[in-house]
Amino acid sequence: MKRWLAVALALALSAWAQGTLKVGVVVSATGPAASLGIPERNTFLLLQDLLDRQGGVAGRKVQFVILDDASDTTQAVRNTRRLVEEGAVAIVGTTTTPASLGMIPVVAEAKVPKISLAASKDIIYPVDAQRFWVFKTPQTEELMARAIVADMVARGVKTVGYIGFNDAYGEGWARFFEAEAKAKGLQVVASERYNRTDTSVTGQALRLIARRPDAILIGASGTPAVLPQRTLKERGYPGLIYQTHGVANPDFLRVGGQDVEGTLLPAGPILVAEQLPGTFPSKRVALDYIQRYEARYGIGSYSTFGAHAWDAWLILRPALERALKRADPDKDLAAFRAALRDEIEATRNLVATHGVFTFTKEDHLGLRFEDAAVMVRVERGRWKLERTFR
């Protein structure tokens, strides 16, 4: 009897293993972008526990294979190749724009659908032969620049300065912010750059201050975004300081301290979920994620970045269920990956933590401005809702 039970258990485990759906995850859990990547990683660990208790998806076990790219583009590309070769049905990641862009040719060549967790519009636009396979959950610089400029205009700002990362993230923000600012009649009087790993931006700050802009936007993300703001404050800059949605996490507040008091930034609505009107479409979903995340990692530990990962799964899960009705990944992995890509693109009116997603053949972000952006101020070390756009 014992031997029969052992054989039966072994056969059951073998069948379960054969039916496993591997989802590759690449995040920046170490390096300059770690304050963004850690909550993304933690969210997938939370999801893994939930799915193991729920029995997976459509009777199949789901395994998240999570790899750290150390905030390095080369490592992100290497991780992506490994996940493709190991049979991932889809890839989620990565945290930063430069690395996410680097991953695109790999997934396109292998014809594996990917959901990016980085901000740049260039990741998903235009939807050409390579980006055909790529989707994303974070709001773009274009969408959030619209929110910033609208807030600046409402506050009577006339002249603006800019300092951002000297990489694809910073350049993308400079491009969209400056275009939106000029379209709304604002004058961009200075534009500076710095590296994510720099320890001083005194020269850039002094040049910005010398032009006396009414407001300055810092086009950076994570804790490295604190450096320009701290330097501007130390050098006596009296104007408004804006950050991007790339700083919407607890570590920015912790590292910045008093130097980031009064910061204005656009953010996904989940950042201030409890302060949203009851009719805001994503409020219920956002509060559910926050409750689950904080139950595991502690009160005040959630961030918008982990929520981007949660949204990726909210999109991916029903797409997996539909794709499994069209193809069997155990028999034809290529056909299943193609079916999964099509089903991701078929997502319509999916309410998530950051907004409502509706993908089309031309739009692989699918967020509406009024549902996906709010303006927030840092007040007494906390996030305070300033305005919505609904």
pLDDT tens, position by position, 68-94: 999 999 999 999 999 999 999 999 999
Average pLDDT in the chain:
95
CB 172 within 8 A of CB 120: yes
Read off the tokens for 185.
């009649």
User: What is the token pair recorded at 77?
Assistant: 């590309």
| pTM reported for the whole predicted model | 0.90
pLDDT score of 279 more than 70: yes
Helix 333-345 × helix 304-324 angle, to 10° = 120
- Is the separation of the CB atoms in 190 and 203 below 8 Å? no
- Per-residue pLDDT at 19: 87
Same fold, 15-139+286-369 and 141-267: yes
Q: Domain boundaries in the chain?
A: 15-139+286-369, 141-267
Task: Look at residue 323 and tell me whether its pLDDT is greater than 80.
Answer: yes
Does domain 15-139+286-369 fall under CATH 3.30.70.20? My reply is no
Give domain 141-267's CATH superfamily.
Answer: Response regulator (3.40.50.2300)
Residue 9 predicted with pLDDT over 80: no
Number of Cβ atoms within 10 Å of the Cβ of 79:
27
Residues 286-315: pLDDT tens digits? 999 999 999 999 999 999 999 999 999 999
The candidate with the shortest Cα–Cα distance to 152, out of 339, 378, 375, 380, is: 375
326-385 confidence digits (pLDDT tens) = 999 999 999 999 999 999 999 999 999 999 999 999 999 999 999 999 999 999 999 999
pLDDT tops 50 at residue 14: no
How many helices (H) and strands (E) are present in the chain, helices listed first? 13, 14
Q: Which of 87, 79, 85 is nearest to 25 (CA)?
A: 79
Which pLDDT tens digit goes with each residue over 222-245?
Answer: 999 999 999 999 999 999 999 999
Q: What does the angle CA 334 – CA 339 – CA 345 come to, to the nearest 5 degrees?
A: 130
- 312 with 134: CB under 8 angstroms? no
The beta strands (E) that lie in the chain are given as: 21-27, 62-68, 90-93, 114-116, 134-136, 159-165, 187-194, 215-219, 240-243, 264-267, 350-351, 356-357, 374-379, 382-388
